[in-house]
């Protein structure tokens, strides 16, 4: 059993979410599933780790679209200040009813830096993708 303060239903939605990457061509990351597209990007860039991070809806408390966009702009500025490569994306827990959260797939970031950014922006979890190209959910609460 995982020790977390995150409600079980919310945790399950994170684990089943689709993390869309706005690459060319676009692709989707899923927790626990190998991503050949990401592996190709790792090989081409010589970067062997990445994190999928958002600043939207801290603690899964829904904010206005304007607030979320402002928060994500600040996150993007932090990523740029770290001189890291990134691609825009969107995390979607439910493809049918819920609009996704704008996100960033950040390459070459350390796990420690990724966790720090996630916590700074009040996130319950982030997606970490190590060299094996299999996304993992990292719980921050």
DSSP for the chain reads ----SS-HHHHHHHHH-EEEE--SS-EEE-TTS--HHHHHHHHHHT---EEEE--SSGGG----HHHHHHHHHHHHHHHHHTT--EEEEEEES-TTT-PPEEEEEEES--HHHHHHHHHHTT-SEEEEE-TT---EEEE--
Q: Which residues contact 27 (CB under 8 A, 6 or more apart)?
A: 20, 21, 35, 37, 38
Going from N- to C-terminal start, the domains of the chain cover 8-139
Q: Which residues contact 127 (CB under 8 A, 6 or more apart)?
A: 19, 29, 31, 51, 52, 53, 91, 135, 136, 137, 138
| pLDDT tens track, the chain, 141 positions | 456 677 888 888 889 999 999 999 999 999 999 999 999 999 999 899 999 999 999 998 889 999 999 999 999 999 999 999 999 999 998 655 567 899 999 999 999 999 999 999 999 999 999 999 999 999 998
């Amino acid at each position: 059993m995982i020790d977390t303060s995150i409600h079980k239903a919310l945790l399950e939605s994170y684990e089943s979410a689709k993390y869309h990457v706005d690459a060319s061509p676009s692709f989707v990351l899923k927790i626990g599933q190998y991503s050949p597209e990401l592996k190709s990007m790792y090989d081409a860039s010589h970067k062997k780790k990445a994190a999928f991070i958002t600043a939207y809806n801290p603690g899964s408390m829904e904010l206005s679209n304007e607030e979320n966009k402002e928060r994500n702009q600040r996150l993007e500025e932090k990523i740029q200040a770290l001189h890291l490569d990134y691609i825009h994306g969107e995390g979607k827990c439910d493809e049918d009813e819920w609009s996704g959260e704008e996100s960033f797939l950040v390459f070459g970031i350390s796990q420690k830096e990724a966790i720090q950014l996630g916590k700074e922006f009040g996130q319950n979890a982030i997606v970490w993708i190590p060299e094996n190209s299999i996304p993992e959910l990292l719980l921050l609460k």
